[in-house]
Amino acid sequence: MLTVCTECGKEHRDSGIYECPACGCIVLPRYESLQGPLADPGASGIWKYSRLLPPVAAEHRIYLGEGSTPLIPSVRLGKRLGIGALYFKYEGGNPTGSYKDRIAAMCLSWALARGRKACIGTSSGNAGAATAAYAARAGIPYHLFVLEHMAEAKLAQVLVHRAAVRKIRGFGTEPEIGDEVFSRVFKAAAKHGWEVTVTAYRYNPYAMEGVKTMSFEIFEQLGGEAPTRVFAPAGGGGLYCGLWKGFAELHAFGLSSAVPDMIAVQPDAAPTSYALTRPVRPIRRPVRQPPSYPACRCRIRLTAGSRCGSWPAAKAALLPYRMRIFGKRSGSLPRRKAFFASRPGLQRWPD
């Protein structure tokens, strides 16, 4: 494994760097070959795909039942939209209820392999719950900075695993306070040798490799074929970029014939990535570049001239309505708002 800068393109053999030494931009892990089949039948969870993950010895690999989530075929919605075959990747079946468990499994295993004695990060909900569970399993302390009004259900998940939690007034709403929080996180990590557990390519590209295992699973669940098109909800773009990276690697190693069209969908009230790709109507607060955006922009640049770089926005006010009609027309999948953000993008896509 080596790392490649998303901006200057320089390759680095040091697998311990978290940003490009030459320009300070995001680096992405790259694998020069695939030694053996994609999946190891003797391994579980994300570790089935260890040949295309950062190297972690078996004794450091943490597994709590993450991954191997079902790909559920649509019963009625696909027909209504005129789609031949529509599927939903159900990540709510992971141990703490989100795909962030894949990231946490990779992150804490990587931390153990590197001899880290603690981890530190920020979260608004799912990432904190996932990291707290996996840090407890790893047996290392977890220092977490959270929003002042973090959802109580998610906070309870964090606290049950005895994470050291600090609520910060103004964090998540005032950019200057956010900058100060991140500054303290990075200073503490550097001073004590802790692992940074912020789920973004800017801060931990090795942990984010866990995301692409979703792509590998989808590929296998479709009988060794990549889907034609993938719609993904997007905040900072980490999920979107991770899914693309997985499908791109399958294509690069000759396992799939093409990379699917990748469409990220965001609520129009918070178009943090969409606003950076094209003009949109003014929003209430300045749009700061999401931490994973440069990696996504690299992906868009690699597919220049294609519709893959589009970011259709969904109306946030429609989401509760979408949840109701989705349940009626597609069954009783658990109702997470991020999950339903993808559907308006699917409906508005031209073909």
Q: Is residue 294 part of a domain?
A: yes
Q: Is residue 218 part of a domain?
A: yes
Residue where a domain terminates, one of 170, 199, 228:
199
Give the count of domains, the chain.
3
In this structure, the answer to whether residues 193 and 322 fall within a common structural domain is no
Q: Is residue 57 part of a domain?
A: no
In this structure, the answer to whether residues 190 and 292 fall within a common structural domain is no
Give the range of the structural domain holding residue 18, as residue numbers without chain letter.
1-30
- CATH code of the domain covering residue 155: 3.40.50.1100
In this structure, the answer to whether residues 82 and 157 fall within a common structural domain is no
- Residue type present at position 193: G
In this structure, the answer to whether residues 113 and 226 fall within a common structural domain is no
In this structure, the answer to whether residues 175 and 227 fall within a common structural domain is no
- The Cα–Cα gap between 137 and 63 comes to 9
Q: Is residue 310 part of a domain?
A: yes
In this structure, the answer to whether residues 91 and 145 fall within a common structural domain is no
Q: Is residue 59 part of a domain?
A: no
Residue where a domain terminates, one of 156, 175, 199:
199
- In order along its 351 residues, the chain shows pLDDT tens digits of 999 999 999 999 887 899 999 999 999 999 999 999 999 999 999 999 999 999 999 999 999 999 999 999 988 888 888 888 899 999 999 999 999 999 999 999 999 999 999 999 999 889 999 999 999 999 999 999 999 888 898 899 999 999 999 999 999 889 899 999 999 999 999 999 999 999 999 999 999 999 999 999 999 999 999 999 998 888 888 999 999 999 999 999 999 999 998 888 876 666 555 544 554 443 333 335 555 555 555 554 443 333 444 444 444 333 333 334 444 555 545 545 454 456 556 666 655
In this structure, the answer to whether residues 296 and 173 fall within a common structural domain is no
Residue 224 structure tokens: 């060794």
Q: Is residue 36 part of a domain?
A: no
Residue where a domain terminates, one of 145, 175, 199:
199
* Dihedral, 240, 242, 243, 245 alpha carbons, nearest 10: 120
- The Cα–Cα gap between 242 and 167 comes to 29
Q: Is residue 85 part of a domain?
A: yes
Q: Is residue 46 part of a domain?
A: no
Q: Which residues pair with 123 in a beta bridge?
A: 146
